[in-house]
Chain A
Amino acid sequence: MKVTLESSDGQVFTVDKEVAELSVIIKEMLVIEQANQDHPIPLLNVGAVELAKVIEYCEHHRNDPTIDDDEDYDSRKKPIEMDDWDKQFTIVNKEMMFELILAANSMQVKPLLHLGCRYAADIVKRMSPTEIRDLFQIDDDFTPEEQDKIEWEKQWTKL
C-alpha cells in the first residue's frame, strides 16, 4: 500500500506505507485517518529537500527492528548500530544535518534522530562551552552566580 506525503513547500511524495510508518507521527495519523486516504498527509515543518532525505533514510531502514526509546541512561553503553550506508548518509554539511535532526524530531523518526544526535555528539568532542555556543548559536543564559556554582561543583566531578 502507498501513502502520499506533502512537504511544507507543497511537494508531494508517494512512498510505501511501511516506509512512511518509520515515522511515529505518520503511523499514528494513518491509524486515525484510515478511511480518508485521498489527501496527502501534510508535514508542515518539513521542507521538500529534507523530506526527500528522510524518505531515503526510511527506505534503506524499512526492515530494521524498532528501537526501544527508554530514558534509561545505561542505554548509552549500547549505542545504535551504524552501518556503512549510515556513514555515507551523514556526509552532508552541518546545516543540512541540523535540518534533518529537526525533521526527524518533528516526524518522530527515532533511528534517524539518534543518528543525527550521534553526529552532533561527534562534533562537540574536545570543544569548550564557548565554542559549542558559537557553533550552535546558543545563548549563554546562566547568571554569573550559577556559572560560579557549576564551576565550583566541577572540582568534584571533573575526570
Chain B
Amino acid sequence: MQSTHPLGIPEIVSYVASYVRKRDLTACALVSKTWYQAFNPLIWHDISWKYGRPFLPEAIQRHSQLVRAFKVPFGVETKALHSLRFPKLVSLDAEHYELKDMNEWMMDHCSVTRLKLRVYEVDHEFWNSLLGFRHLKDLTLRDLRSWDDVDGFWQLCTHLERLEIIKSYTPHQGNLLSMRFPSIKELIFNLTDWNNVRILEFMQRCSNLTSFKYVGGEESAGFASSFSDLVTARTWSQLHSVSIWDDIAEDAILRIIEGMQRINVFEIYFLLDSFGFNAMELLRPHFSNIRVLHLRCFNESETSPMAQEILSSCPLLEQLTAPPIEASVIAKGKPWVCTRLQELKLMFVYADSTLPCLQPLVFDQLARLVRLETWCTNYSNQKPPHQVVDLTLKNGLSKLSTLRSLRFIRLGNTYQKMGQQEIDWILQHWINLENIGVSVNAALTKRLKEHGIRKWT
C-alpha cells in the first residue's frame, strides 16, 4: 500500500520538515499536497522583503496567518507595507526602513514582541504607538538623532527585557532619575555621542542586567574604566556576559572579571595594553561556565598558547576567537574538550615546513569539534602570513569527516592545492557546507557552485 510509506504520513512529514534546512524548504513544498501542508508554514514563518523582489500582495495576504517574522529592507515603497496585515506577527524588522505615518499599522500588530526600527526623529505620538505593543520585550532603535519627549521612551523601557540602540545619540535625561528598569536583562549600545554619565545613570537603574555589549569610539573615552568600577562594586549581581568593542586597559579588564560572579560571555575586541597572564588567571575559575570568548593579544603578530588551554578546559564553550597559536602547541597539547563549539576563529602558525607532520595532529584535535559550524583561520581581516591550513587528503583532510555540521569555512583565501578527490570528499562528508572561502581552480569552484556551495568572500 503506497500510503504506508512513512513519508506520506502528514504527522511524520511535519517532523521531517522541522529538520530540513531553510534552503531546501521550497523544493520540499512542491513534492505533494501532504508535503506542502507540512512545509508551507515554515516557508512563510519568517519572511523578508528582499530588494528587487516583485510585490505580490495577494500571495502574501493569503499566507499572512502564517507569518511570525517580517523584515522590510531599505528602499521599499511605504504604501505597499500599509496594505499588509499579519495577525500573528511576533517580530518586525524595519531596521533599514524609515517609519513614517505607520502608527495605524503598528496598532494593528499588537502581538509583536520584537521590534527593530530605523527612525531619525520621534515624537510623543511615536512613543505612544510603541506603548501600544503591550507584549513588546525586545526593542532595537537605529539612527535616532532627536529624542523629543524622552519620558515616553523611559516608560517603554520599564517593560523591556532587551534594548539595543545603534548609531544614535544618547537619550536625554528627562525623568530618568525617578525611574527603575528591573525587567531589562540585556543592553547593547553603539552611540554617536557618548554621554558617559547619563548612560551609567541609566544602566545603574537596570538592577537585573545580565548581559552588556557596547561599541565605543572617540567619544567613549573613560567609559570602560567607569563601567569596570561599577562592576567591581557589584552593581549588577547577575551580570554574566560582557562584550566590549572599545579601547580598554588591562586593569579595567581585571576589575570586570573580578567583579563578575559568573562568566558566560566575555569578549574583548581592542586593547590598550596586554591581555595576558593576569587576566587568564582570573578567567580560569570560570572555565566550567564560559560559552563565548573573544580575546586579543596586544601585539597581533605574536602567538600565544592561550587558545590551547581554553579549548582543553572549557566544556561548554560555543564560540572562540583567540590570538594565533603555534601548531606544535596544539599537537602536543591535551585533548580539546569543547565538543559544543560552533564557531572557531583561530590561526594556526606552522614553523617552516612542519605542516605535513603537524597538521594531522592538529586535525585530530579539530575532529573533536563535532558541532562546529563556522571555522575561520584568520580572526582579523589581516592576511595570514603563512599557509595556515592545507585541505588535502595527503595532509590529513579525511580526519575531519566528523565535522558534519560545518557550514562556513574561511581560510584567509589561501590557495588550496585541492583536486577532484578533495572536492568529492568535501561534498560527501560536509553535507551542510554553504560557503567556503578558499581559492581553488576555476573548474573546482564551478563544481562546488553546482552543489550550492558558494565562495565566501
Verify that A and B bind, or say they do not: yes
Interface residues of A (CB under 8 A from B): 73, 75-76, 79, 98, 101-102, 105, 113-114, 116-118, 120-122, 124-129, 132-133, 136-142, 147, 150-159
- A-B contacts, 6 of them at CB < 8 A, read A73-B45, A98-B6, A105-B11, A122-B19, A150-B36, A152-B56
Chain B residues, CB < 8 A from A98: 5-7
B4 at the interface (CB under 8 A from A): yes
Known: A156-B53, A156-B54. 5 other contacts (CB 8 A): A79-B19, A117-B15, A126-B451, A129-B30, A156-B60
A124 in contact with B28 given A73-B45, A156-B59 (CB within 8 Å): yes
Chain B residues, CB < 8 A from A73: 18, 41-42, 45, 68
Contact at B7–A120, with CB atoms within 8 Å? yes
Contact at A121–B45, with CB atoms within 8 Å? no
A133 in contact with B27 given A125-B431, A138-B7, A138-B8 (CB within 8 Å): no
Contact at A132–B27, with CB atoms within 8 Å? yes
Mark B58-77 against chain A: 1 for CB-CB distance below 8 A, else 0: 01100100001000000000
Chain A residues, CB < 8 A from B63: 153
A137 in contact with B5 given A142-B32, A154-B26 (CB within 8 Å): yes
Question: In the complex, which of the residues B11, B27, B43 contacts A127, with contact meaning CB atoms closer than 8 Å?
Answer: B27
Chain A residues, CB < 8 A from B60: 156
| Residue on B nearest A156 in the bound complex, by CB | B56
In chain B, residues 339-376, which have Cβ atoms closer than 8 Å to a Cβ of chain A? none
Chain A residues, CB < 8 A from B18: 73, 75-76, 79, 117
Contact at B16–A121, with CB atoms within 8 Å? yes
A142 CA to B105 CA in the complex, in Å? 36
Closest 8 CB pairs of A and B: A121-B19, A117-B15, A129-B30, A136-B7, A101-B6, A117-B16, A153-B59, A118-B19
| Residue on A nearest B41 in the bound complex, by CB | A73
Question: In the complex, which of the residues A117, A132, A141, A157 contacts B47, with contact meaning CB atoms closer than 8 Å?
Answer: A157
A73 CA to B19 CA in the complex, in Å? 10
Contact at A139–B26, with CB atoms within 8 Å? no
Question: In the complex, which of the residues B2, B11, B19, B59 contacts A152, with contact meaning CB atoms closer than 8 Å?
Answer: B59
| Residue on B nearest A158 in the bound complex, by CB | B26
Q: How many chain B residues have a CB neighbour from A under 8 Å?
A: 47
A76 CA to B16 CA in the complex, in Å? 10
- Interface residues of chain B: helix, strand, loop or mixed (majority): helix
B81 at the interface (CB under 8 A from A): no
Contact at A128–B43, with CB atoms within 8 Å? no
User: Which of B19, B42, B47, B451 gathers the greatest number of chain A CB atoms within 10 Å?
Assistant: B19
In chain B, residues 1-24, which have Cβ atoms closer than 8 Å to a Cβ of chain A? 2, 4-9, 11-12, 15-24
Chain B: minimal CB distance from A6 (Å): 20
Contact at B16–A139, with CB atoms within 8 Å? no
B452 at the interface (CB under 8 A from A): yes
Contact at A129–B31, with CB atoms within 8 Å? yes
A139 CA to B60 CA in the complex, in Å? 28
A155 CA to B59 CA in the complex, in Å? 10
A138 in contact with B32 given A127-B27, A156-B53 (CB within 8 Å): yes
B194 at the interface (CB under 8 A from A): no
B411 at the interface (CB under 8 A from A): no
B35 at the interface (CB under 8 A from A): yes
B33 at the interface (CB under 8 A from A): yes
B227 at the interface (CB under 8 A from A): no
Chain B residues, CB < 8 A from A140: 31-32
B29 at the interface (CB under 8 A from A): yes
A120 CA to B68 CA in the complex, in Å? 26
Question: In the complex, which of the residues A113, A125, A138 contacts B31, with contact meaning CB atoms closer than 8 Å?
Answer: A138
Contact at B15–A113, with CB atoms within 8 Å? yes
A121 CA to B18 CA in the complex, in Å? 8
A114 in contact with B15 given A136-B5, A138-B8 (CB within 8 Å): yes
Question: In the complex, which of the residues B6, B56, B452 contacts A102, with contact meaning CB atoms closer than 8 Å?
Answer: B6
Chain B residues, CB < 8 A from A129: 27-28, 30-31
A98 CA to B45 CA in the complex, in Å? 28
In chain B, residues 93-127, which have Cβ atoms closer than 8 Å to a Cβ of chain A? none
A156 CA to B6 CA in the complex, in Å? 31
A28 CA to B131 CA in the complex, in Å? 48
Question: In the complex, which of the residues B2, B9, B59 contacts A137, with contact meaning CB atoms closer than 8 Å?
Answer: B2
A122 in contact with B431 given A101-B6, A138-B7 (CB within 8 Å): yes
A117 CA to B45 CA in the complex, in Å? 20
Chain B: minimal CB distance from A92 (Å): 14
A122 CA to B59 CA in the complex, in Å? 30
| Residue on A nearest B90 in the bound complex, by CB | A74
B456 at the interface (CB under 8 A from A): no
Contact at B33–A142, with CB atoms within 8 Å? yes
Chain B: minimal CB distance from A138 (Å): 5
Chain B residues, CB < 8 A from A151: 30
B169 at the interface (CB under 8 A from A): no
B86 at the interface (CB under 8 A from A): no
B44 at the interface (CB under 8 A from A): yes
Chain B: minimal CB distance from A112 (Å): 11
A155 in contact with B41 given A105-B9, A129-B30, A142-B32 (CB within 8 Å): no
A105 CA to B431 CA in the complex, in Å? 27
Question: In the complex, which of the residues B21, B24, B35, B42 contacts A138, with contact meaning CB atoms closer than 8 Å?
Answer: B35
Contact at B8–A121, with CB atoms within 8 Å? no
Chain B residues, CB < 8 A from A159: 22-23, 26
Contact at B26–A157, with CB atoms within 8 Å? yes
Contact at B23–A153, with CB atoms within 8 Å? no
| Residue on B nearest A136 in the bound complex, by CB | B7
A150 CA to B27 CA in the complex, in Å? 11
